[in-house]
Structure 1
Amino acid sequence: MVQEVAIYLVVHQPRRIKLPAQLIPQGVSAEDMEKCLFDERLNQRYFDKVTRYCYIPATDKFLE
C-alpha cells in the first residue's frame, strides 16, 4: 500500500502585452524594452486575483 505521495504542480501566468502598442526606441536596452512591451500593472492585478481565487485555495486544500 502506498504511504506517501508527491504532488508536483507548475503554475504559469502569461505576461500581458501593453496596449496600445508603442514604438520601441532604437538602441533600447533589454530591460527597457521589457518595460515597453509588457503591462506590469495589469500583470500584477491578474496575478493577485488568480492567487486569491486559485493558488491559495488550492494550496490550502493540499495542506488539509
Structure 2
Amino acid sequence: MTNRFQFIEDHHRAWGVKRLCAVLEVARSSFYKWRAVRPTAGVHAARLLPCCGRNQLAGRKE
C-alpha cells in the first residue's frame, strides 16, 4: 500500500499539492518535511550495499 505522502508525490503534478493534502487530510507542511528528509534511491542503495563502490553500482569496473 502506498502511503499518503508518496501518493501526493506521485500525483501532485496533475492535482496539486494543496488539493491532494486537503482531500487526504494531510498537512502540507508535513508533506514538504517528508519530501525534504526522505532518502533518495541512490542513498538507499548505498546503505544496502556498503561493500560496493560507486562505479560498481553503475555497472562499471573500478
Mark the structure with the bigger radius of gyration.
Answer: 1
Q: Which has the higher contact order (CA 8 A, sep 6+)?
A: 1
Q: What is the TM-score of this pair, normalised by structure 2?
A: 0.30
Q: What is the TM-score of this pair, normalised by structure 1?
A: 0.29
